Structure 1
């Protein structure tokens, strides 16, 4: 078998990988999307299944009002003392001098939960991880944030001992163990102990095309005791602009039962418009930051190296002791809403799906119109990740809009400033109509205006479909579910990419989503009914599209 990268396509950033007996687990960041933290499992490192979201209630995670790309940053999953340990960060401020955040710890004896009440750790910095030393002591290592404008904001890696009995960190033990290299922006640290050395694996260069992963080691955990790996950088694509994978860096190391080593890292797969250089701009990563796995070998001096070179490979040999894991061929999804439980692929923004947002009953999803898609507190949106460059997403909706302040339908969404919609709404010219809109850097455009498509009298349901074709996407509508009419507006998919959002916002860490929404900012709560949602992938290349 071979690992084909990325193993977790579409917005699965900052992987924390572990092995418990014969099973591997990866935990990924979820930022402002609820429930918090995605966990996939595998026995072969090749085929992966999404199995759970640990932070599934507001006791563990309360993100109401969080900014875009705030929330859950770089969770750390570990296993020790017969249970799983999950460190996670809830970031409340993303732009400006400050990064207000709280780091928490929760544990569970089973990966499926239940997870314990959260223990507040600190707010020193993000990307915290827990190291379990072989003498039983535990330490939290984390990026350290400095808001002072005359200092670099990334102030090295702080290590603090954790008192298990008292369930608290001991701030008197805190010390800076490594400040990183001259590349700066040292973050995402993990500690491993092997052959008498403590190894720090950490990211640098920012989570963009200058991203890299570096390694340092020490015989102790004393302050400033770590030395950086000599020679080439452990993992980076900064100097490999033509590689299939880009942005590789932040991640974690895992050892197989047979003693092989692999490194799971975030990655991106940018594409370019036909009139653009491949190197500048390097491209637009509409699928967000994904997860790749590379094989690691060790030299005679005890330093790790990526097999095939520091740029990584698309295809990697699987472990010799891999156990074949059954998993779907792709991430296509069909939901008829015939059970009260939400499909595991769906997410909401900041808060859980509850009666305030809507309900699932009688084979339909009912969404109660709340705030707009720009709202960071109360909105009704159920969406899933883009996980392929080519896909169709279709839904069937019933909505009795009473004013232009009420809209419901299908959306392609990045964050509250970057999204588009096809919707049932109302205007003064034709009553119930279909409108097409886009919010681009908070500049809102209605494409059809007074020429919005009139919905024929007596029409109960309207079908909406979006066709995503890598660089662009379109919307279609139907009044019978068979004959679809494309609206002649072609959207630039780059607007829904990390790289585009990064040009004007400090929070650019997620990826594009597609889903259903209902809006009624009049406050009267008009409800939309959705009969089904279908997401059909067509692979990576245009000739795969049916």
Structure 2
């Protein structure tokens, strides 16, 4: 047997949807406001996973401009009908409001890394949709939301048949199940004459879990299992918290496994915080004598190490997903680089102007929901180090470029090369006089606003190496002066870059990246070289 070490896909990789096609397993995960949209990983053995592509074109117009933090693409569900991959997902335009203002889309492809069809909108009852292919028919599962005052935002699970060609609804929508505890994320499977409905339960925080219901009839009524399939809500000491949002898959030899999301918390003075976001894990499943699925190890707590089948030829096994970015041979910025609300474009992220470097043209600021010039990679461990060389000549306080640790528009840390007034002169916006300093400015931003933590003078026009080290809940920034790492400012609270900080809903994870801004002319450029992100387990 092979041992899978959970999480098997580390860092921001939530809401995994797991399927098997012949000898390969595929997982699609949520991308929210980030591009590439709907990353897909693949594995031969459930233990070793590699990036396999993404659902290109999932956002109509290839843009999520204006989408709020943690909006965008929620909980894609991947499926296979014997000929094509299908994916169904919701694009959520409002977060934390009574109206989710969402649209549900379906796209198909013959290969996950190939061309996906243009997304087609289908019945949009709520988020977390799924497709059920059964006896040549196509069914759309969803949760429904009652937005009316006094209504239940999680008002039950519904099922609608769709025409396979037009995707139009056929017949009525069926209410399958309602429950006192929040339920969402429905998935359907058939086994031994039963239809099993696998549900996410309790919300996606520390109360999260997975619950199963079943019926002899597709349209119900469904009987709810008295025990959870998976949860950690009863024990904060379990290493993998927030366990839930599960999907079951059968191996070629008849064994059963499930994918689920989980998080590895830091235990801070503010409580548990999960800056790595929600990650993808797998568990082994058996069926009890009454026909309910149970975790193989017993109980409902997820295991960190899980035995999975060994593939016949280890040479066919993909290598683990690794940290560190690269510029594609043709100059395209590819995975693991990610961008906000649109894919990278040479008009602002240029790899041809200076071979081996990335030239960013500054656009809007780090709190914009529209046009940020940002390239970032997921932080996948609680110990990490990032560094990059930046070369630029900022001439106004509206021009800056540097290194950022980021969660969203409300939570980020950044060390930027920028302009400042001469020593002792107040901020009066007189940069056009040509006087001033080139400085490194360390900013800390949370829901209460931005604070300038430290300012360091540097020589104008000279490349400077910037870096940051993460150790648990602490982040330290530095730059290289005369070959020596020199700290900039005090240690900062990295745990604020998490789902669990602040008062608003948060669903993504921490990134490390490079960015540039020019708030006036959108012409300022900065060159970045030698970007390196290392994430160290343990």
The counterpart of 2:458, out of the listed 445, 455, 480, is 455
Between the aligned partners of 1:250 and 1:336, the Cα distance in structure 2 is 34
1:382-427 Cα shifts (integer Å, max 9, x gaps): 0011101111111111111111111100000000111010010001
Distance 1:49 1:470, change over 3 A: same
- Which of 218, 222, 225 is matched with 1:226 structurally? 222
Q: State the Cα deviation string for residues 219-261 of structure 1 (Å, max 9, x = none).
A: 1122x5100113x211100112211111111021110000000
Question: Which whole-Å deviations, capped at 9, do the CAs of 1:76-135 have from their partners, x for residues lacking one?
Answer: 1001131100112111111221101111111111121111111111221000000001x2
Partner of 1:417: 410
Q: Which runs of 5+ in 2 are unaligned?
A: 423-435
Shift of 1:326: 4.2
Between 316-325 and 189-198, report the one with greater CA deviation.
Answer: 316-325
More strand by share: 2
- Evaluate the alpha carbon distance shift between residue 57 and residue 380 of structure 1 in structure 2; reply closer, same or farther with a 3 A threshold: farther
Q: Could you say which residue in structure 1 is the equivalent of 2:148?
A: 148
The equivalent of 1:435 in structure 2 is 441
Aligned counterpart in structure 2 of residue 378 of structure 1, from 364, 371, 374: 371
Task: Provide the residue aligned with 2:511 in structure 1.
Answer: 513
1:267-346 correspondence to structure 2 within 5 Å: 267-273=262-268, 275=269, 281=271, 283-308=272-297, 309-319=299-309, 324=314, 326-328=317-319, 331-335=322-326, 339-346=330-337
Q: Secondary structure at the match of 2:501?
A: helix
1:544 equivalent in structure 2: none
**Distance in 2 between the 1:494 and 1:124 partners?**
35
Deviations 1:260-301 (A, max 9, x none): 00010000111112x56xxxx3x1101000011010000122
| Structure-to-structure mapping, 1:155-194, within 5 angstroms | 155-170=155-170, 172-180=171-179, 182=180, 184-194=181-191
The reply to whether residue 266 of structure 1 matches residue 261 of structure 2 is yes
What is residue 38 of structure 2 aligned with on the other side?
Answer: 37
Kindly report the root-mean-square deviation, in angstroms, between the aligned alpha carbons of the 2 structures: 1.7
1:38-64 alpha-carbon deviations (Å, 9 max, x no partner):
111100111100121113575464311
d(CA) in 2 for partners of 1:337 and 1:165? 37
Contact 2:25 2:46 in 1 (8 A): yes
- Which aligned pairs between 1:393-412 and structure 2 lie closer than 5 A? 393-412=386-405
**For 1:524 and 1:137, how far apart are their aligned partners in 2?**
52
| 1:523 Cα deviation from its structure 2 partner | 3.0
How many Å separate the matches in 1 of 2:259 and 2:159? 23
Q: Indicate conservation of the 8 Å contact 1:44/1:318, yes or no.
A: yes
Provide the C-alpha distance between the structure 1 equivalents of 2:88 and 2:350, rounded to a whole number of angstroms: 31
Give the drift of 1:486.
Answer: 1.4
Indicate yes or no: 2:449 matched with 1:446. no
| Closer/same/farther in 2, CA of residues 299 and 210 from structure 1, 3 Å limit | same
TM-score of the two chains, using structure 2 as the length reference: 0.93
- The answer (yes or no) to whether the contact 2:456–2:488 under 8 Å persists in 1 is no
Counterpart residue number, 2:425:
none
Give the secondary structure class of the aligned counterpart of 2:106: strand
Q: Distance in 1 between matches of 2:59 and 2:147?
A: 29
- Over 3 Å counting, the alpha-carbon distance change for 1:464 and 1:242 in structure 2 is same
1:52 aligned partner: 53
Contact 1:336 1:533 in 2 (8 A): no
Q: Is the 8 A contact 2:404 2:513 kept in 1?
A: yes
